[in-house]
DNA sequence: ACCTGAACACCGTTCAAGT
DNA sequence: ACCTGAACACCGTTCAAGT
């Protein structure tokens, strides 16, 4: 039961405070809203309301809204770390497969909340889970015989590529029309490319719809493979 | 002179309409605000005010705010196209150098307005200038002997990497403290990495500050080199 | 068809005042 | 030191009503 029809005006003490007013409590509430309603609803006003206070109170614990959003990413990276730790126990697995699995898991985690991927790109990540992912990738690169000098720059490329891919290909939340959105935009894109002026854009016209071929996983596995081959073949200057 | 102290209330017809109420006029005004005050100020309300009307009027010509923001990118890509066309006239230049120059120019254009880079990542670009950049990269890849099948996927990787790099490394506009922001955050990062727990993150600890070595151009040229080597060495599956 | 005033339903952040 | 009410200065979008 517990259905309350008609809002009591100004009922300030309906429930006990869900969480204490601490940094952790604030992040907890933010994660709850994020999981149930998406990042767009994770606003300072909303969090404050959930904690039965005003938005001004949060500024004792957080610097600003972006600071808070950045904190949320690390929590979403937990499953990636879990799978990374599992893979360390099985070092027999090919190092390339290990990196691919790691990055697949990383992308999967971000796809769960693609708005976070955009934030991951702009804010400097330094949470424990993110560091663990970086460390795991470095470990696999070392196992594959990639020298440290090149690994140092390669890990950035690999994670940057994975993050950007999510940002680019995530469903730009439609709020409506759940099915077919991606498929439709693909067909729109295909006809756009087929209609391209061959005189102005000869190479696009020549390749045509093959520019859009393959699914996400296929393209990504090829991309990672190419990235690794390139890293192995390209010494860092001087 | 022309100093008007004290605002006349409701002075609706102070100046003649700056631009006609058309899609082009709207984009023109938006570009003006973008160049002089940054993307954050390019709001529908602000544009409408500049056109002496209300924000509701804009919805006859644009679908929504994101639609408008997407339109602005192509204008910023104009210098890239100019340099691309110049390089086509000098096909003697090494194809790798041509791609590097193209991507340098592309990144430079986005760095002028890094907020646009973020939008470039999320919205499906199909403006004439963007298509021209894609075509130029494809042309250079073909000149380098990269097979069409691989070029089709490689062009995406190259531009995705370039765009993401801008999003990641752009000064997160401080609104204050113009100088030293990047340098300071680098030193903060360096000390963070030096303080990392070697037991938990052995690989990060081993590489240490070398993870952050090199400047943007050095890292980017190496990244493009590695990307190209990888693309040349990695056939697309089946 | 095009345009608009006004409203709706919100934002993040600051600050003086309280405890 | 911590917390708050209230204000400041905004947003994008919708819609009934006008022309």
The residue extents of the domains of chain A are 17-62, 75-233
Contact B105, B83 (CB under 8 A): yes
| pLDDT value, residue B133 | 96
Can you state the percent helix, strand and coil of chain A, rounding each to 5? Answer: 70, 0, 30
Q: Is residue A33 within 8 Å of residue A46, measured between CB atoms? A: yes
The C-alpha of A143 sits at a distance from chain B's nearest C-alpha, in angstroms, of 11
pLDDT given at position B185: 67
Residues of chain B positioned with their CB less than 8 A from the CB of A153 = 213-214, 219, 222-223
In the predicted model, what is the mean pLDDT of chain A? 85
**B153 and A227 in contact (C-beta within 8 Å)?**
no
Is the pLDDT score of A63 beyond 50?
A: yes
Q: How many angstroms separate the CA atoms of A235 and B215, rounded?
A: 16
Answer yes or no: CATH 1.10.10.60 is held by domain A17-62: yes
Q: What is the pLDDT of residues A180-210, one digit of tens each?
A: 344 456 777 788 888 999 999 999 999 999 9
Most confident of A83-92, B9-18, B189-198, B202-211: B202-211
pTM score of the predicted model: 0.86
Distance between CA A119 and CA B39 in Å, rounded?
17
What is the model's pLDDT at position A225? 97
Closest nucleotide to B44 by C1' from CA: D12
User: What residues have CB less than 8 Å from A66, skipping those under 6 apart?
Assistant: A119, A123
Beta-carbon pairs below 8 A across chains A and B: 173
Region of poorest pLDDT, from A126-140, A164-178, B29-43, B65-79 = A164-178
Q: Which residue is nearest to nucleotide C2 (CA to C1')?
A: B60
Contact between B201 and A134 using a beta-carbon 8 Å cutoff:
yes
Tell me: pLDDT of B138 over 90.
yes
Protein CA at B53 to nucleotide C1' at C2, angstroms: 13
pLDDT at residue B19 above 80? Answer: no
CB spacing of B201 vs A132 below 8 angstroms: yes
Q: Which nucleotide's C1' atom has the smallest distance to the CA of B42? A: D11
- Specify the fold of A75-233: Tetracycline Repressor; domain 2 (1.10.357)
Four-residue CA torsion sign, A97, A165, A151, B98? positive
Nucleotides of C under 7 A from a protein CB: 2-7, 10-16
Could you say which of B139, B161, B189 has the minimum Cβ distance to residue A203?
B139
């Amino acid at each position: 039961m517990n259905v309350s029809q008609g809002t009591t005006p100004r009922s300030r003490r309906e429930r006990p405070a869900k969480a204490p007013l601490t940094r952790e409590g604030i992040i907890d509430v933010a994660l709850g809203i994020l999981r149930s309603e998406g990042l767009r609803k994770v606003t300072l006003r909303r969090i404050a309301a959930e904690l039965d206070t005003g938005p001004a109170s949060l500024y004792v614990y957080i610097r600003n809204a972006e600071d808070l959003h950045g904190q949320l990413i690390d929590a979403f990276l937990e499953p990636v770390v879990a799978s990374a730790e599992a893979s360390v126990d099985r070092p027999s697995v090919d190092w390339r497969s290990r990196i691919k699995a790691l990055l697949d898991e990383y992308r999967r985690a971000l796809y769960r909340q693609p708005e976070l991927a955009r934030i991951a790109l702009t804010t400097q990540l330094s949470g424990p889970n993110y560091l663990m992912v970086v460390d795991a990738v470095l470990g696999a690169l070392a196992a594959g015989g990639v020298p440290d000098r090149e690994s140092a720059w390669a890990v950035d490329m690999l994670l940057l590529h994975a993050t950007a891919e999510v940002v680019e290909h995530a469903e730009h939340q439609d709020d409506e029309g759940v099915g077919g959105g991606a498929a439709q935009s693909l067909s729109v894109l295909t006809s756009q490319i087929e209609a391209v002026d061959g005189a102005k854009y000869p190479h696009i016209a020549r390749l045509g719809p093959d520019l859009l071929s393959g699914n996400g996983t296929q393209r990504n596995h090829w991309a990672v493979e190419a990235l690794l081959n390139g890293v192995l073949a390209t010494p860092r200057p001087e």
